[in-house]
Amino acid sequence: MEEEFKPVRQQQRRLNPTILDVVKKEVTKLLVVGIIYPISDSQWVSPVQVVPKKSGMTVMKNQHDELATRNDHFPFPFIDQVLEKLSRKSHYGFLDGFSGYMQIHIAHEDQHKTTFTCPFGTFAYSRMPFGLCNAPSTF
């Protein structure tokens, strides 16, 4: 995190009824499995953002307009390099990484920095959500 950056506490946004139902279902699901928990004392609060995907699935993530982190710079291989290595192989495996991010625990002292607010309350993540700045390189 940038040393000189000050915490930002943003207000929640009004959501249309369709999106409101999606957020309620997602918050309930994440609470039940212990990925998020209610929090009331965080200095870092951002409004929830709902992103519909072509597949019909909807992703709920924090809206971070004020970036306070330094990006990790880990090189990802180019797809043509990966395909070249795979071209001489006879067996392939596939791992579905859709919920893989949610398996990585966030250090307790950093969880409050993932706080988001919505009409159903204010919550923080105990596990790494999709959409965090350095989540891909950590995953």
Domain residue limits, the chain: 17-138
pLDDT in tens, the chain (139 residues): 555 666 667 777 788 888 888 889 889 998 999 989 999 888 888 888 777 777 665 556 565 544 455 555 666 677 788 788 888 787 777 665 556 667 788 889 888 888 888 899 999 989 877 666 655 555 5
Please, are residues 62 and 131 in contact by the beta-carbon 8 Å criterion?
yes
DSSP alpha helix (H) spans, the chain: 17-32, 79-86, 135-138
Alpha helices in 33-130 (DSSP H): 79-86
DSSP type of residue 115: -
Other Cβ atoms less than 10 A from the Cβ of 82: the count is 11
Instruction: Report the CATH number of the 17-138 domain.
Output: 3.10.10.10
